[in-house]
Amino acid sequence: MIRLRRSLPLLVLLLSAQTHADDAKKLRILTWDHYAPADIIEDFRKETGIQIEVTLSSNEDIIARLKASGGAGFDLAQPSQDRITGAQQSYHIYKPIDLSRVNVDQYLPDMLEIAKKMTTLDGKLYALPYLWGAEGMVVNTRRTDINDYTDLCKPELNGKTTLRLRRPALMAFAFALGHDPFALYGNPKAYAELIDEVGRKLLSCKQNMAFIYTSSDEVLEGLRSDKIVAGMLWDSPAWEINRENPFVRFINPKSGALAWQDTFVLPAKGQNDAAAYAWINYTMRPDIAARITKAAGNFTSTKGTLGLVDPRLKTQFFESFPQGLKNIHWYPPVPAGLEDIEAKVLDKLKAPH
């Protein structure tokens, strides 16, 4: 009995050391669906010995989880570029990126600069770019001619369109009406007036909506069944249905597509930065990035992948964006309070009329 008591501190020390060793071999990621494919996770484990634990999430969920835990519970998260500095200012849920631990040469310079511009706060960088994409128009070109978001209001499209009544629709229609909503982020009064104007325009279009969607699958099914002929949609699912029906195409509207980057960020109380940086550098290798593009349907921010991705996807990209990254509006960080302004208008639009 005396021997057991004397050995207890040593047992605790050994168990603690084992726990730390196990933690060093586990990476907890908070990310989107398809962003950490199972085959790539397995290849990473074989190469590094690090196990990955994935929790699927979204922008709102990432912020809510990290806010509730003070930035604990995960070692890596992947919010969009416009949801980082505002959350950091309000909740202090991220830690800065250490570029000395990043293979910076793997990144497309334009993509890295966008991340630096959008996610730097008080001189510190809080995110690195991962996947990117854009929201524009999906159109059955045999049934209608669409050039911009407001074309969804054409009288002849009564009951034949769809939208997702969230902030992207407000931003898109603002640009189509000749305004730059992002330029008014610092002027809440002017921004509220613009959003009210956009709300009135969207309300006048509501009769054209066959349904208001919440997932891209609803849009694809509507196009397949000919229930709708046009709507707002992301590039990736639009390219998916284009492979089934070449007359259904993703179009960069005249007033410009709305673009996002999903990023790598380090939660403030993450316990395994070494594993996080190992995963970041691994997934940004061109060969791995091309595989992720195939799984997710969106392009990564890595150099040298265009020659490795599906040639059809490459062709679709240049058909949709013949000018490359021109005529694209990248979402800037959202200042506190603006989404409350938007929510009031969106609630009115969602109400039965």
Considering the domain boundaries, does residue 288 fall inside one? Answer: yes
Using left for φ > 0, alpha for ψ between -120 and 50, and beta otherwise, residue 74 falls in: beta
In a domain, 325, yes or no: no
The 10s digit of each residue's pLDDT in 317-326 is 999 998 888 8
pLDDT band at 9 (very low <50, low <70, confident <90, very high): low
Give yes or no: residues 16 and 95 share one domain: yes
**337 and 223 within one domain:** yes
CATH number, domain with residue 150:
3.40.190.10
Same domain, yes or no: 147 and 128:
no
> Does one domain contain both 58 and 159?
no
- In sequence order, what DSSP letters do the residues of 86-107 get, joined into one string? HHHHHH--EE---GGGS-GGGB
* SS3 at position 275: helix
CB 59 within 8 A of CB 308: no
The reply to whether 269 falls in a domain is yes
Going by the DSSP 8-state scheme, the letter that residue 331 receives in this structure is P
What total number of domains does the chain contain?
2
Same domain, 65 and 154: no
The predicted structure's pLDDT at residue 235: 96
Statement to judge: residues 158 and 187 lie in one domain: yes
pLDDT tens profile 322-348: 888 889 999 999 888 899 999 999 999
Task: Please tell me whether residues 210 and 343 are part of one structural domain.
Answer: yes
Residue at 124: amino acid letter: K
224-234 residue pLDDT tens: 999 999 999 99
Same domain, 203 and 342: yes
- Residue range 37-49, pLDDT digits in tens: 999 999 999 999 9
- 141 and 18 belong to one structural domain: no
Query: For 144-177, how does the pLDDT look when each residue is reduced to its tens digit (9 = 90+)?
Result: 999 999 999 999 999 999 999 999 999 999 999 9
What average pLDDT does range 180-200 have in this prediction?
A: 97
Closest among 250, 253, 220 to 234, alpha carbons compared: 250
Q: Domain of 143? A: 134-259+330-350
At residue 21, the pLDDT reads 46
Q: What is the pLDDT of residue 353?
A: 64
